[in-house]
Amino acid sequence: MSDKSSAEKTEKKRRRSPISSPKLKWVSTRLLDDVFTDEVSLFKPHFDVDYEAYLQRLWESNPDIYEILKNTDDLEKARDALYTYLEKAERSVFSLDNDLHILEKSTVRECIRVFRSIIGPINEFRTEFSALDSLWKLARNKRDELDSKISVGFVMEFINLFRGVIGKSNIYLENVQIKKGIPDFLKLKGRDASTVRTEILDDLGSSVQKYFKKYPSGLEDEVVSWRLQNRKKIIRYFKGSQEDWNDYKWHLKNVVKDAQPLVDLIELTNDQREAIEKARKNKIAFGITPYYLSLMDTRLSIGYDHAVRMQVIPPKEYVDKLSEHQADRKITFDFMGEHDTSPVDLITRRYPQIAILKPFNTCAQICVYCQRNWEIERVLEPKALASQKSVDAALEWLDEHKSVGDILVTGGDPMVMKDSQLERILANLSAKNHVYRIRIGTRTPVVLPMRFTDRLMDILTRYHEPPKREIAIVTHFEHSYEITPEAMEAVQKLRKAGMSVYNQQVYTVENSRRFETVKLRRDLKSIGVDPYYTFNMKGKEETSR
């Protein structure tokens, strides 16, 4: 029996026995199936989100937990009952007749640990949020008593956690042979063991390839040719030329600051248009470079560009939230606690050897989930450059703290500064003997790759003097679809000059489907970028669905 038909059977069985509640009925969404089953025949991402369907799947993912939550009339009793339930679940992992795959058992134990921690009172006290209270009210159908809106992302997290607790994470579903018990190859020796192992690995490998096809990169011929057409349209729209297109200043001059160019050039949903218009009215930073606009699919039905759009088109909830908090924005959205880690203006320090220097407070375009959206006022803000006096004071502070030798120059995006402004800072930092690494945090390889002119490369290479001091670029590709020939050219210039280029990925719903991030990491390596680290969202929900 193939894996697929086995999954279909399970699915049919599940549909035949829904949890008995008059409120719950089966509602199908393509995203659900895309995320939670091994269905890989859909080669494009789909994001038709149905909140009720997710909720239903949540309760179906672990009927025991649902019963506990639904039938307990007191929150503390529900907490006790869940602790008892989790203790039993953990003991069952160690019972003799438990034939779960050894890795699945490990997942069960980890999920139980995480779930215990989430519902622990100390966690609730520290985070000032009770996930248990939310789940309890949802299960008891008391949504009007919820303290805050519960997102689909929250529900999805718990679907996975609930499944994990009972050994149904499905992580090891790809191959029936390794789903349960000890894989056959461990019972064999020598060439026989290797042959059986190879068969299983071939199977897994071809499954990964199928997933990869869902996430094309911008290097693929078909995508390159669509984008060539997009580019021509955009150049015509802004009355430019191919020469202009290659000039980063032209892109900065024509940054899209309202919805109209998008309406004219690509298909937008009404929600997207309204959110942009509301952002404009409420002075919420918004901007897209013409180059980045060329990465968007002209028609919504193509759908590969979901991560690109969500990067810059603010969702309605985000605009509403920022509008509500105009007055206290600087505090409310300082998720990184930068107010409490800044010993002098423009410096943030959280580590013994590393400090952040922020001389420039705007960017070529605005990322929706930017962790600095509390201080970035608008795209290409003319007054974004800090005063010479405060830059000098920040640089002097570094002289007084010689243990700090790794400086991350960021902002905003320092590569949007003029060459001369950037060079002044690099020269000053390089004159400090204790500074051994200057990292420049910039999204320009992704949103403005033509920024890496010969002149800029001359400046960067002048101060890149290994082993005394290195200049490294820290950038932010979010999805394979952002990886283009132009981005590769920019990265290759840096690599050929001996500089490292690192990526920091933000882990969002847009890049977290099965193997989506794996694909990104592989594509990044192919153009010379080292996938460095992954940010978790820390309470920010701008790209939640």
The helix (run of H) or strand (run of E) holding residue 410 is: strand 406-411
Q: Does 479 bind ligand SF4 (CB under 6 A)?
A: no
464, 497 contact by CB (below 8 A): yes
d(CA 292, CA 280): 19
Q: Does 456 bind ligand SF4 (CB under 6 A)?
A: no
Q: Does 380 bind ligand SF4 (CB under 6 A)?
A: no
Q: Which residues contact 461 (CB under 8 A, 6 or more apart)?
A: 471, 497, 498, 499
Select 60 or 478, whichever has its Cβ closest to ligand SF4.
478
Place of tokens 């790759």: 449
Select 35 or 370, whichever has its Cβ closest to ligand SF4.
370
Place of tokens 């606009």: 293
Tell me which stretch binds ligand SF4 (CB under 6 A): 46-54, 222-230, 333-341, 406-414.
406-414
Among 164, 216, 359, 412, binds ligand SF4 (CB under 6 A): 412
One-letter amino acid at 175 equals: N
d(CA 119, CA 131): 7
Q: Does 370 bind ligand SF4 (CB under 6 A)?
A: yes
> Residue number with the shortest CB distance to ligand SF4?
370
The footprint of ligand SF4 on residues 101-140 (CB under 6 A) is none
Select 251 or 443, whichever has its Cβ closest to ligand SF4.
443
Q: Does 363 bind ligand SF4 (CB under 6 A)?
A: yes
Tell me which stretch binds ligand SF4 (CB under 6 A): 20-28, 37-45, 270-278, 370-378.
370-378
Closest CA to 505 of 492, 491, 516: 516
Q: How far is the CB of 417 from ligand SF4 (least distance, A)?
A: 13
520, 491 contact by CB (below 8 A): no
d(CA 113, CA 90): 9
Q: How far is the CB of 322 from ligand SF4 (least distance, A)?
A: 13
- Please state whether 280 falls in left (phi above 0), alpha (psi between -120 and 50) or beta: alpha
How many other C-beta atoms are found inside a 10 Å radius of the C-beta of residue 120?
14
Select 156 or 364, whichever has its Cβ closest to ligand SF4.
364
Select 372 or 479, whichever has its Cβ closest to ligand SF4.
372
Q: Does 367 bind ligand SF4 (CB under 6 A)?
A: yes
d(CA 457, CA 444): 13
Q: Does 78 bind ligand SF4 (CB under 6 A)?
A: no
Q: Does 372 bind ligand SF4 (CB under 6 A)?
A: yes
The helix (run of H) or strand (run of E) holding residue 440 is: strand 437-441
Tell me which stretch binds ligand SF4 (CB under 6 A): 191-199, 339-347, 391-399, 405-413.
405-413
d(CA 508, CA 61): 22
Q: Does 275 bind ligand SF4 (CB under 6 A)?
A: no
Select 35 or 288, whichever has its Cβ closest to ligand SF4.
288
Q: Does 413 bind ligand SF4 (CB under 6 A)?
A: yes
Could you tell me the sign of the dihedral formed by the alpha carbons of 319, 325, 327, 333, in that order?
A: negative
Q: Does 308 bind ligand SF4 (CB under 6 A)?
A: no
- Write the DSSP assignment of 375-409 as a string of letters: T--STT-TT-BPPHHHHHHHHHHHHH-TT--EEEE
Q: Does 296 bind ligand SF4 (CB under 6 A)?
A: no
Q: How far is the CB of 315 from ligand SF4 (least distance, A)?
A: 16
Neighbour order of strands in the sheet with 437-441: 347-348, 354-360, 406-411, 437-441, 470-475, 501-506, 530-535
The pairing of strands 354-360 and 347-348 is antiparallel
Q: How far is the CB of 372 from ligand SF4 (least distance, A)?
A: 5
Tell me which stretch binds ligand SF4 (CB under 6 A): 148-156, 169-177, 232-240, 411-419.
411-419
Residue numbers of the site for ligand SF4 (CB under 6 A)? Answer: 363, 366-367, 370, 372, 376, 411-413, 443
